[in-house]
Chain A
């Protein structure tokens, strides 16, 4: 027959332990030394876990005797119950379904009233006794053996989890909240990522009773094959988090495989909140990423602040958008407070990744689905990386326009239209919205035309004979005519291809505005729709390139004394 195990502590008769070791099995003395107690990182769960991992021989015992209380000075801590919960939830100790006998003079009813872990007393395989002597323990072992449950460990654990109620330690959004580590654990598991970091997670919170309980209650059933998931769009990604080393870096590195990936934040710990913000902005200016994945709380002070606008992540988001509104920022956060998310959205956040908290893990596919969503979010953000360049160019041109000497209302109209069209582009999701952004950009041509063309009586046309554009008399002018007049006659342009492009671009606009399907659905010889790119960023980008040329010519033609 296998050995029994007796756990005892200071207030228990040592003779009991001596006799037990002599006659019935193994013993273990539970004690918390001064050295341990004076370690600021000491936790009772860490202590118990360490005992089960390395101090007690991990063999299958016939029966484990535990006193209700293992404390020297405060009985109602009922540490014995906590130890038993750990035994039930620690596979490595090999006694998840071993009968446990609590010894002490309290009834199960009394203990349940006094301890939040009392529910364990009403789960299977748990006995209590107030008869404390070697002979009584011997009889108890025999009794327990006779009534041994024949249930496999998995089923036993499921039954146990149903009965047990373990609450998380009262805490709030701090680094003590296990949401952070829980999310890392879940996503690392879902990504099949076994690293030194996930080992570290196990070390840092793996001992936490609530965490063990969650792992048993919400096992991961579906994993994601990270190798089959790819972020299609190219671009560079910068990940910012003060807890990179906990495992976040490894997770995002895996997700962003084959992309240009950087991460910063492991040196944030010693910095002030202001320094965190300023050093991050310096790095952003240096690296110039297309997409930033930004953790919301990057500093201890952030857990202090109730005002979302004081949080370091918010401040960095603000600064990024000041530098370049087109740089895509995805915010990573544990917060489920809607007002925080709304503030971030108002500040320009382009996407969100919510850390998985335990209550969300009820759905066994949640992790897998969330990660799939992360891939999508990053992919979508990269798809919009063109906005960064457009914004940069817009800003450049606005500066250029400010220096021009044309009529101020004209210049103002140009700037406004530029900004408006960028705004519409940045917000565009549907094809119509992209088309409206396109149309808005086209308006710049009309503004220019209106400024410089009053009445002309010549139109520009393509002369097949001379193989060039030329002019002839006409009564009514189109916008293309006007702009081509300016291009050739006023600004001395000579790129035929360019002006032809402009012609098609204006036609596209006309087709959309007048809902002219002949124009809109025009196809090339190989069946491609030539004008459908008005519904995509590509259309805008092409037109924008043309507008850039026109604005440059406008600038070149500018003379100071006007």
Chain B
């Protein structure tokens, strides 16, 4: 299964998904999604917390309710994700702001209400079909904007930076963003005007 989806409180799904039970049924029926129920779900979470769960080798994304994990469990998950290039989403009612990192593997923490949005099912469908690029798609339709703004920030920083290693790191990051954005032009200082223009275009439509 491509996606392991661990929700230990199914009523939450019914309450917050746009079409309630219908959406839950749709999710459960999606090929490539393993969403165990009730006791099975709790058992798996228990095993993760004991660092003993054996993941399906085809897993590419794990989604889990963060409050059900203890530190050992979250570390076990993150080690698995890093070693196997698996993405991880943790959602919880206690998360007041989305945090996204991509150091070794993509890891996103988001609030339950934001997670169970109208974007969830389309995102999962795209992911299963191999059409998803980044977890940030789940957070916003304008995820590319985040990359453009980061690129702009990096371009300014590269100009100011004098430390060789630091400058090299920033440039590497900019190169990586350029690849992801896949624009008609290269993301670099010389094209700052075009970058600004792309940014403005997206923000106006936001």
Contact = CB atoms under 8 A, between A and B. Distances in A.
A binds B: yes
Interface in B41-72: 66-67, 69-71
B151 to A, nearest CB: 9
Interface stretch (A105-113, A183-191, A425-433, A487-495): A105-113
B98 A74 contact: yes
Given A104-B153, A170-B114, A44 B97 contact: yes
Interface residues of B, number: 60
A440 interface: no
A147 interface: no
B100 A73 contact: yes
B92 A176 contact: yes
A76 B16 CA distance: 24
Interface in A24-47: 32, 34, 37-40, 43-45
Nearest to A301: B9
B136 interface: yes
B95 A43 contact: yes
Contact of A171 (B66, B93, B98): B93
Nearest to B66: A40
B150 A11 contact: yes
Q: Which of B66, B95, B173, B199 has the most CB of A within 10 A?
A: B95
A121 to B, nearest CB: 15
B179 interface: no
Given A14-B161, A40-B71, A76 B149 contact: yes
A284 to B, nearest CB: 29
B152 interface: yes
Contacts of A77: 97-100
B9 A75 contact: no
B92 to A, nearest CB: 7
Contacts of B159: 13
Interface in B64-98: 66-67, 69-71, 73-75, 78, 92-98
B111 A170 contact: yes
Nearest to A78: B97
Interface stretch (B23-31, B101-109, B122-130, B181-189): B101-109
B170 interface: yes
Nearest to A81: B97
Interface residues of A, number: 48
Contacts of A74: 98-100, 136, 139, 146
A104 B150 CA distance: 10
Interface in A65-85: 67, 69, 71-77, 79, 82
B132 interface: no
Contact of B161 (A15, A34, A69, A171): A15
A43 to B, nearest CB: 6
Interface in A299-322: 303-306
Nearest to B158: A13
A69 B152 CA distance: 12
B133 interface: no
Interface string A86-115: 000000000000000000111000100110
Contacts of A143: none
A14 B166 contact: yes
A72 B10 CA distance: 33
B12 interface: yes
A132 B161 CA distance: 12
B160 A43 contact: no
Chain A interface mostly: loop
Chain B interface mostly: helix
Nearest to B196: A105
Nearest to B163: A14
A172 B74 contact: no
Interface in B1-36: 9-12, 15-16
A75 to B, nearest CB: 4
B113 A171 contact: yes
Contact of B154 (A11, A34, A104, A177): A11
A16 interface: yes
Contacts of A172: 12, 15-16, 93, 112-113
Contacts of B162: 15
A79 B153 CA distance: 15
Contacts of A360: none
Nearest to B142: A76
Given A69-B153, A171-B93, A114 B15 contact: no
A75 B146 contact: yes
A79 B97 contact: yes
Interface in B187-206: 196, 199, 203, 206
Contact of B156 (A76, A105, A304): A105
B16 to A, nearest CB: 8
Interface string A207-222: 0111000000000000
Contacts of B103: 34, 72-73
B98 A210 contact: no
A43 B94 contact: yes
A15 B136 CA distance: 30
B154 A305 contact: no
Nearest to A11: B153
Contacts of B96: 43-45, 169, 208-210
Given A172-B15, A176-B93, A305-B11, A37 B150 contact: no
A113 B206 contact: yes
B175 interface: no
Contacts of B92: 176
Given A74-B136, A76-B149, 14 more contacts: A13-B160, A37-B101, A38-B78, A39-B71, A44-B96, A44-B97, A45-B96, A69-B153, A74-B98, A76-B145, A105-B156, A169-B113, A171-B113, A208-B96
13 contacts: A11-B150, A13-B156, A13-B157, A15-B161, A32-B99, A37-B101, A40-B67, A72-B103, A75-B147, A75-B150, A169-B113, A170-B114, A171-B111
Of all A-B residue pairs in the complex, the 8 with the closest CB atoms, nearest first, are A170-B113, A13-B160, A171-B93, A176-B93, A74-B100, A75-B149, A169-B96, A176-B94
